[in-house]
Structure 1
């Protein structure tokens, strides 16, 4: 056995497939920087979304319905009337014109084309064919020369520039943009979590700072004070007011009697009923 220990190799860092040290070196700073930039934007985005939903539900929807009714009254109804009473008769008139005038005229033009223009065209083609072939040969030569000129002066340098400069730079730029995009998505999601947590914290703080103290003051201070004020102030004041009212009415009645005397009482009406102990009732 070999008693000496073999030197162990230092573990090599493992990167995901297709990623290298450049990707890892770019990813963490990019995500931190993008998170710091995206967090205020996400908070503003959520606030704008809440405002937009409110406006859309309670402002734009009623306005849209009103505008729709207005457009129906101002556009749809006049267009229907225009189609029914103007365009439909005009279309029937045009159809009659097409069938009675344009169709015979078209047949006449076709006959003139077949009997006159077609023979003239064949003659012109027969005369111009040699000149056309010569022009075609000249253009072929010019096109070949222009092709090789453009290929040598533009295409080959552009291919070399793309292969040796732009493609590597584009690869690096693609890695950077991909990491920035992933960082943006990650930061956006984390900012959403932070925004929701901040909203919950603000809601809790508002409840404990304003609502709960107000509720405690109302329940502990204002309600007992209100009961005391009602029992010690309002009820005695109300009783005193009622007593004053009764005294005023009594004084008014006494003054009326002193000035005008006792009011005359109506004379008793004889109901022709027996009086005394032998009065007959329904029970006997």
Structure 2
């Protein structure tokens, strides 16, 4: 069984501490109680205003803004984005791909081969002779001059400078030690005595007074809070008896039936009609989108075929097989829906 750790014994307080604590707590309590009462009244009023007025008003404004601004702007933005993507972005994308392919084949590839040829010519005719000239005309003489002339001269200068620096350092060290000793005697010793004999006792007294004043403020604030809560509970009970009961009776007897009738007779039919209109609008937008997607698919097939024909015309290749006509299918005699029947081929015309 573990032994419970006993709290450390409190040190005995001096007479000066007790003499300061009692009058300070009395004065602070007299000053703090009215301030705490006013503060609690203001805080309770602010909470009541926020709970009964500001929060419902904010929710109503948020719902109104979302219904009248955010939702319409959202659908408008989606429609504009779809229109821009369908009418501008997709055509420009295919146009850009075609232009990029044409520029690459007609400009980039020839310029790449031309640049490689020019680089090889410059390397052979210019860079190689310049490298040989630098190596044997500049680098070799400079290396010889550095090794046999500049290096011995630099070593001699460094030896002389090291001797002079050693002498100067010895003199500077002696002067520094003298200055340190004089500063210790004239500045550090008097400042230390003044700190120990004067500033330390004064600081202890100021800290004691400040600690007692802070503790008195905390104690007075807690007592004032208890008094304020007791007064607030009494006012709350009195307000509930004089105001709350009549207001609740008026709400249950008059306001609630009227609001229920408005909800059931006006708001619910309007909401159902709006839902029907929204469903019809979504179906119309879906049909328009499907038609636009089919048109874009046809345009993409046409652009792809034109690009293949252009490539074949530029680089050559086997002739393209004609696409089978959609009017007839292999192994069946029926025609595809919505297609024009293919023309019949006469055997006499083929043989002739």
Q: Which has the higher contact order (CA 8 A, sep 6+)?
A: 1
Sort the TM-score into its range (normalised by shorter chain). 0.3 to 0.5
TM-score (norm 1): 0.40
With normalisation by structure 2, the TM-score equals: 0.34
